[in-house]
Amino acid sequence: MTASETTAPETRPLMAARTFPPDFLWGTATAAYQIEGAAREGGRTPSIWDTFSHTPGKVFEGHTGDVAVDHYHRYPEDIRLMSELGLGAYRFSVSWSRVQPTGRGPAVQKGLDFYRRLVDELLAAGIEPALTLYHWDLPQELEDAGGWPERATAGRFAEYAGFVADALGDRVKLWTTLNEPWCSAFLGYGSGVHAPGRTDPVAALRAAHHLNLAHGLAVQALRAALPGDALVAVSLNLHEVRPLTPSAEDRDAARRIDAVGNRIWLGPMLEGAYPQDLFADTAHLTDWSFVHDGDAAAIHRPLDRLALNYYTPTVVSHVPNGGQKPQDDGHGNSEHSPWPGADEVAFHRAPGERTAMGWPVDPNALYDLLTRTAARHPALPLIVSENGAAYEDETGPDGTVHDPERAAYVHAHLDAVHRAIVDGVDVRGYFLWSLLDNFEWAYGYAKRFGVIHVDHDTLERTPKSSARWYGAVARTGELRAPGAA
């Protein structure tokens, strides 16, 4: 498929309801550093995002997650809002440095107790907890020791996974090892737009391998500690890559991005080996000697779910070395590329409607991603673990926040999920990003993804109109267009 081609949506009346399976999981998602705050409470030590956000020039207007939206203290209110909306699940992440300060030594009970209280309150409200072990907040002391480019970090992560599983395994069923390891490796160590802000392509590739290894070792640790009915997953932001034109050169550009964006994870995690073309593409950078005998088996552990995060497609073309090339990949501005081995690849944004992030709106690409992934791994059920949009939300004179653009975005993407299910794809759930307006990484508090508005001065929560609409979808399992009776 090229950028000029799209998957034609099934012709169905816009206002007609689409009914999802009765056991479909409806939820919202967040991440610890983006919402918790309480950065210095309960024994928590700094993570790489504490350090990065406090480094001048790294985050919009010097914003930090020190307080974020204070979910650490306000979680009962946030759970009450979820319950009032009728949401059935909540995907959250655990702060590694809150549970195991510095990434070494025994677990801290104060940190684990916070997550015990959170999970207990979710269960009391009838909301299924979905736990992510790592959403980018590596303890700073582990980064000081080399971070993800160092092999030892993978072993540390497995130890931490065991601590959390021992504490919460009796009450959490759905576990995710890593969230978007592509961002951790290539935005954190390649382009430097995310913490820890390093710009070394070889370090980025080393980080990618050790994240893969950490995933495999963590799966092993979780299986040893969790009940037999627990579900173990990984959450990947797979890129729906499209060549700008049908030319052989543009198709090869798409192949390169598929290798370093997608198959660098899918290969070792699900198939037991890295793709050979990835090795060839990056041979001028590294001989991959950091991959040791036995690593493939350690990484390739059976999973119960594959979770996918999707926001926008990736459009690429070939540009000869030294030629003028746009780098509009939607992943922030940097002189350094997050795509090692793709020096002759240019990135383009598709025409049409865009969100406040500047990302093109293309729900057909989500359908394509789900169907393509299911075709390659038909026995593995899928979950959409993140999907959503930032818009310029404004509070009305009466205190309400009306966001029809977000509701339309989510409706279109849920329609794509439903089409995939009708066409035989085994999709088990959908988590809307995000529950709350929060700290949006390098964008600070400038971008709002939440279905619940947060006044960043008072921290007052106000459900937006999209929250009420999405709650009705979650309660009924029927997707109706916003405004439909």
pLDDT tens by residue, 76-119:
999 999 999 999 999 999 999 999 999 999 999 999 999 999 99
Q: Residue 460 has what pLDDT?
A: 97
Average pLDDT over residues 173-198: 98
Mean pLDDT over 325-352 rounds to: 90
Least confident of 85-94, 96-105, 322-331, 353-362: 322-331
Decide if 405 is catalytic. no
Q: What is the pLDDT of residues 376-402, one digit of tens each?
A: 999 999 999 999 999 999 899 998 999
pLDDT of residue 451: 98
Among 15-19, 364-368, 411-415, which is the least confidently predicted range?
15-19
Residue 292 has pLDDT above 90, yes or no: yes
Confidence of residue 11 (pLDDT cuts 50, 70, 90): very low
pLDDT at site 327? 77
Q: Of 83, 109, 112, whose CA–CA distance to 95 is shortest?
A: 112
Confidence of residue 351 (pLDDT cuts 50, 70, 90): confident
Looking at 180, 240, 405, 440, which residue is catalytic?
Answer: 180
Q: 10: pLDDT confidence band, cut at 50, 70 and 90?
A: very low
Catalytic-residue membership of 386: yes
Residue 348 above 50 pLDDT?
A: yes
CB 462 within 8 A of CB 401: yes
pLDDT tier at 485, thresholds 50, 70, 90: very low
Each residue of 213-245: pLDDT tens digit? Answer: 999 999 999 999 999 999 999 999 999 999 999
Average pLDDT of the chain?
Answer: 95
The yes-or-no verdict on residue 12 having pLDDT over 80 is: no
- Region 298-320: mean pLDDT is 97
pLDDT beyond 80 at 146:
yes
For residue 321, what pLDDT is reported? 74
pLDDT greater than 50 at residue 38: yes
Q: 20 pLDDT band (50/70/90 cuts)? A: very high
Residue 9 predicted with pLDDT over 50: no
Chain segment 443-480, per-residue pLDDT in tens = 999 999 999 999 999 999 999 999 999 999 999 999 99
Range of weakest confidence among 225-239, 256-270, 328-342: 328-342
> Which among 36, 143, 150, 386 is annotated as catalytic?
386
Residue 213 has a pLDDT of: 99
